[in-house]
Amino acid sequence: MTFKVFVDGQEGTTGLRIHEYLAARSDIEVLKIDADKRKDPAERSRLLNAADVAFLCLPDAASREAAFMVNNPNTCLIDASTAHRTAPGWAFGLPELARGQRGAIQASKRIANPGCHASAFILAVRPLVDAGLLPRDAAVTATSITGYSGGGKSMIAEYQQQPLPAHLQAPRPYGLGLKHKHLPEMMAHTGLATPPVFMPIVSSFYKGLTVSVPLQLSQLAPGTTPEAVHAALAAHYAGERFINVMPLRDAATLEAGFFDVQACNDTNRVDLFVFASDTQVLVMSRLDNLGKGASGAAVQAMNVHLGVEETLGLV
């Protein structure tokens, strides 16, 4: 059986990466839009409605517009943008979120792909909330170190200038208004009642992302140990092909002395770490922002929706 797939935004960063994944698939027929009609509403509408699955790799406004164009009840939309991540009627495209999420993705014709920072944060925090270790009203902070491809074509062009201006050579914290666009989905899909204080930091490497969530053991349920935090993550992701819970206080990383933010690149994998002292834990979550952070995750959600092997085309 062959599925027809259209990528709206095929020339963009996530769209191009999705095409690379699809090119290797014999079960997918890619519907291409002519270069000069990429932004032509009538042609986009025709292809969106001809597709079994359409990926929206667009700015938010164009994604909302695309969703309104679809009247074919068989077309499944997988939206990579922020537009629909907490919208009613849209399934959150993170199969590992909780029991039942795969069923929701399979059943829905509207799937919202998580944001890259949000995926890493939610995967680190949700199991601790579900296990009753992290109270829903906890005051949580998080930082995220990310490669510049997360900012799409315009940020890639900025960082690929030759010579690279001095201010782009050092890491740059941003989102300092403390209203990052991923906060609503971070709360909605972890169950946290209070927005985390979240600071992303973009730096001069192409891709790779790590979210760090520091917690005092005194913030957690009485008696919680680092072992219990680690065990909650391990239990939540038992059997998950793409989520790798590393050993507590991962010896290889401690021995190296430095954390490698790029070590999940070119995979759809998420590595979760728990570092700890007697009174504190640091939960860290690493992914490729164009893998599990965007395009790989979108392909995984498509596989779940279509009922084909979930890992097809993904490593």
Ligand X SMILES: CC(=O)N[C@@H](CCC(=O)OP(=O)(O)O)C(=O)O
Ligand Y SMILES: NC(=O)C1=CN([C@@H]2O[C@H](COP(=O)(O)OP(=O)(O)OC[C@H]3O[C@@H](n4cnc5c(N)ncnc54)[C@H](OP(=O)(O)O)[C@@H]3O)[C@@H](O)[C@H]2O)C=CC1
By the criterion CB under 6 A, which residues form the site for ligand Y? 8-9, 11-15, 38-39, 57-60, 62, 80-82, 115-116, 149-150, 152-153, 289-290, 293-294
Binding piece for ligand X, criterion CB under 6 A, among 3-11, 150-158, 224-232, 302-310 = 150-158
Task: Give the one entry of ligand X, ligand Y, none that residue 57 binds, where binding means its C-beta sits below a cut-off of 5 to 8 angstroms depending on kind.
Answer: ligand Y
Residue number with CB closer to ligand X (184 or 191): 184
The number of residues in the chain equals 315
Q: Which residues pair with 284 in a beta bridge?
A: 212, 273
Cβ closest to ligand Y, residue 284 vs residue 294: 294
Q: Print the binding letters for residues 153-182 with ligand X: x by CB under 6 A, - otherwise.
A: --x-------------------------xx
| Nearer of residues 142 and 202 to ligand X, judged by Cβ | 202
According to the binding rule CB under 6 A, does residue 208 interact with ligand X?
Answer: no
Per-residue burial over 180-190, b if 16 or more Cβ lie within 10 Å, else e, is bebbbbbbebb
The DSSP string of 103-141 is HHHHH-SEEEPPPHHHHHHHHHHHHHHHTTSS-TT---E
- The catalytic residue among 57, 76, 116, 264 is 116
Nearer to ligand X, 14 or 303 (CB): 14
CB 312 within 8 A of CB 241: no
Binding of ligand X at residue 150 (CB under 6 A)? yes
Q: Which of ligand Y, ligand X, none lies near 153, with the C-beta cut-off 5 to 8 A by kind? A: ligand Y
Residue 175 sits at the vertex; the CA angle it makes with 285 and 120, to the nearest 5 degrees, is 15
Whichever of 80 and 276 has its CB closer to ligand Y, that residue is 80
Q: Answer yes or no: 116 catalytic.
A: yes
- 199 and 146 in contact (C-beta within 8 Å)? no
Judged by beta carbon distances under 5 to 8 A according to partner kind, the member of ligand X, ligand Y, none in contact with residue 62 is ligand Y
- Nearest 5°: the CA angle 71, 20, 55 is 15
> Which backbone phi and psi does 77 adopt, to 5 degrees?
-95, 130
What is the C-alpha to C-alpha distance for residues 23 and 78, in angstroms, rounded to an integer? 18
Query: Token pair of 18, please?
Result: 């999705």
Q: Which of 10, 13, 63, 81 binds ligand X (CB under 6 A)?
A: 81
Stretch that binds ligand X, among 88-96, 109-117, 158-166, 278-286 (CB under 6 A): 109-117
Stretch that binds ligand X, among 78-86, 122-130, 243-251, 274-282 (CB under 6 A): 78-86
Structure tokens at 116: 């890259």
DSSP structure string for 205-248: SSS-EEEEEEEEGGGSSTT--HHHHHHHHHHHTTT-SSEEEPPT
DSSP per-residue string spanning 180-217:
-TTHHHHHHTT--SS--EEEEEE-SSSS-EEEEEEEEG
Distance in Å, CB of 80 to ligand X, minimum: 6
Q: In sequence order, what are the beta bridge partners of 282?
A: 214, 275
Interaction partner, residue 202 (ligand Y, ligand X, none; CB < 5-8 Å by kind): ligand X
Minimum distance from residue 286 beta carbon to ligand X (Å): 15
Supply the residues annotated as catalytic: 116
Which residues sit at the interface with ligand X, rule CB under 6 A?
80-82, 115-117, 146, 150-151, 155, 181-182, 200, 202
